[in-house]
A and B are shown apart, each in its own frame.
Chain A
């Protein structure tokens, strides 16, 4: 697992993996130094640029990703799961497979993990992982079309394993406030939690071990229709 590297370097590494044609499915587990990942739209807020400078000075450099989506904080204790493989038949099928694999990996912790939207959370979507209604992870996908009619997919999950969730929320809200983003961008700290809030035995290292085991199994058992899918 890679840790202690800045977010931009880690995200660039993901993009390189996604661009390798005919590569075997690849799992990357990584942590990054504190940073805020924001979408291009958020950088159009009236004072986004000075806000980004202020966040950097406060130890939260802002990294702009090319895609959409809203701000997501990275820090030690946030385990990033990057899974690069053939694209699924559609995005919903892919999300369900990816989320179920993570839930299966985390079963030993005994947490009642569900999948769904978490209104008020940062970077909300339909396929968050939640415990008791609190978001512990967000997921996303990026599809890349490569020569030879190949479609590869980068699944990403930012899993709050062992981190002070209120600090992450504060960082996101500070950026939004300074950027003069729309008021409804504000994140509700009550809907965000880390796995360690529910189970003190959760650490980045033991979580990563469980994930490696399950994704290794999946590598040898990818549904045939996905392998043969041509878009």
Chain B
């Protein structure tokens, strides 16, 4: 199992971001380095890539408030 994590170096401090959208549903088969979702903080939107190939489980849905380093999904 590989966690999908909001990168720790995406922004400077302890602000929270929001998941704008997931491009796949839970249960979808995804490939490493595909764009999985979009995260926004401070009017900056960034793609999050899949860290592995496998089946996606979404832990935090779209519109969820997230922090740096937070696990938002899993790839099995």
Q: B7, B43, B63: which contacts A69 (Cβ < 8 A)?
A: B43
Q: A145-B49, A231-B7 are in contact. Are A91 and B44 (CB under 8 A)?
A: yes
Q: A66, A90, A145: which contacts B11 (Cβ < 8 A)?
A: A90
Q: A67, A91, A93: which contacts B42 (Cβ < 8 A)?
A: A91
Complex CA gap A125/B46 in Å reads 16
Residues of B within 8 A of A83 (CB): none
* Chain B residue at minimal CB-CB distance from A89: B9
Q: A68-B18, A145-B35 are in contact. Are A91 and B11 (CB under 8 A)?
A: yes
* Chain A residue at minimal CB-CB distance from B40: A68
Residue A141 is within 8 A (CB to CB) of chain B in the complex? yes
* Chain B residue at minimal CB-CB distance from A126: B42
Residues of A within 8 A of B38 (CB): 66-67
Q: A68-B18, A89-B9, A90-B12 are in contact. Are A145 and B47 (CB under 8 A)?
A: yes
Residue B10 is within 8 A (CB to CB) of chain A in the complex? yes
CB distance from A93 to the nearest CB of B (A): 8
Residues of B within 8 A of A40 (CB): 20-21
CB distance from A8 to the nearest CB of B (A): 18
CB distance from B48 to the nearest CB of A (A): 8
We find that the number of chain A residues with CB closer than 8 angstroms to chain B is: 26
Tell me whether B12 and A144 are in contact (CB under 8 A): no
CB distance from B16 to the nearest CB of A (A): 13
Tell me whether A90 and B9 are in contact (CB under 8 A): yes
Residues of A within 8 A of B12 (CB): 90-93
Complex CA gap A105/B7 in Å reads 33
Assuming A90-B11, A141-B45, what are 16 further A-B pairs, CB within 8 angstroms? A40-B20, A66-B20, A66-B21, A66-B38, A67-B20, A67-B38, A67-B40, A68-B18, A68-B45, A90-B9, A90-B12, A92-B11, A95-B44, A125-B43, A141-B43, A231-B7
Complex CA gap A69/B18 in Å reads 11
Q: A67-B20, A68-B18, A68-B40 are in contact. Are A143 and B9 (CB under 8 A)?
A: no
Tell me whether B35 and A141 are in contact (CB under 8 A): no
Complex CA gap A214/B51 in Å reads 38
* Chain A residue at minimal CB-CB distance from B15: A126
The 9 closest A-B pairs by CB, nearest first: A141-B44, A143-B46, A91-B44, A140-B43, A92-B12, A125-B43, A67-B45, A68-B40, A145-B47
